Amino acid sequence: MNIRVINKSKNALPAYETAHAAGMDLRADLETAVTLNPMERKLIPTGLHIELPVGYEAQIRPRSGLAFKFGIGIVNSPGTIDADYRGEIKVLLVNLSTEPFVINHGERIAQMIVAKHETVVWEQVEDLSETMRGHGGYGHTGV
């Protein structure tokens, strides 16, 4: 699939790090380093603008290494870039650790997955088909 992209950063375009990777790493586009203090959240620019085909979205997800080693996550995970959005992709990072974390220009801060999605048309009805689960919600099957 070809996706049109404008790259206003000095970073290379996102790329798959391994042959079977689902996500491409996004890099911070910063003039100066940004410190993310404990429990603080900041919007980090990437310098990327994309044009997705209709019927696709880009999901912005945390990087597992940053989450495990430093407690860095994404507040609205996964974030969604819609096909009609043309603004800069920015990542809303949060520091869930007890130590400050410094983000430098070019650092890999998130991963992006492009995925197909469906558009639904609601059919309002009076009842739904029966299933074994039925109305069972959170924790209904035990631990």
The residues spanned by each domain of the chain are 4-8+23-116
Q: What confidence tier does 138 reach under pLDDT thresholds 50, 70, 90? A: confident
Asked if pLDDT for residue 82 goes beyond 80, the answer is yes
The model's confidence at residue 59, banded by pLDDT at 50, 70 and 90, is very high
CB 57 within 8 A of CB 115: yes
Kindly list the distances between the CA atom of residue 89 and the CA atoms of 14, 37, 61, 119, in Å, as whole numbers in the listed order: 12, 22, 12, 23
The Cα-based distances of 56 to 47, 61, 79 in angstroms read 21, 16, 14
Q: Which two tokens stand for residue 100?
A: 């400050």
64, two tokens? 């597992």
**Residue 125, number of CB atoms within 10 A of its CB:** 7
CB-facing half-sphere around the CA of 6: CA atoms within 13 A: 9
Q: Please check whether residue 6 is in contact with residue 48, taking contact to mean a CB–CB distance below 8 angstroms.
A: yes
pLDDT digits (tens, 9 = 90+) for 86-107: 999 999 999 999 999 999 999 9
pLDDT tens per residue across span 28-46: 999 999 999 999 999 999 9
Residue with tokens 């070019």: 106
Q: Is the pLDDT at 143 greater than 70, yes or no?
A: no
Task: Please give the CATH number for the structural domain made up of 4-8+23-116.
Answer: 2.70.40.10
